[in-house]
Amino acid sequence: MPTDQQLPGVGIQLEIPARAEYVALVRLLISSLASTRRILADSRIDDLKLAVSEACTNAVEATRSGPERVVVRWREEDDRLSVDIEDEGRGFDPANLTVHPPVTDPERLNFERGLGIPLIRSLVDEAEFAPSSEGTSVKLVMYCGPIDDSEDDSKGQADTNGPTDQHQEG
- Tens digits of pLDDT across the chain (170 residues): 444 444 456 589 999 999 999 999 999 999 999 998 888 899 999 999 999 999 999 899 887 665 689 999 999 988 899 999 999 887 777 777 777 777 677 887 777 666 788 889 999 999 999 988 888 899 999 998 777 666 544 444 444 444 444 444 44
User: Going by CATH, does the domain composed of 9-143 fall within 3.30.540.10?
Assistant: no
pLDDT at 12: 93
pLDDT at 123: 95
Longest dimension (CA), the chain: 50
**Distance separating alpha carbons of residues 136 and 6, to the nearest angstrom:** 18
* Cross-strand pairs, 20: none
Strands 80-87 and 69-77: antiparallel
Q: Is 40 in contact with 158 (CB distance < 8 Å)?
A: no
Q: Where are the domains of the chain?
A: 9-143
* Cross-strand pairs, 132: 135
Question: Residue 81's closest CA among 118, 38, 36, 35?
Answer: 38
pLDDT at 46: 96
Question: Residue 82's closest CA among 142, 164, 129, 124?
Answer: 142
DSSP type of residue 118: H
pLDDT at 150: 60
pLDDT at 147: 72
- Please, what is the Cα angle at 92 between 31 and 59, to 5 degrees? 30
Q: Is 70 in contact with 87 (CB distance < 8 Å)?
A: yes
pLDDT at 21: 92
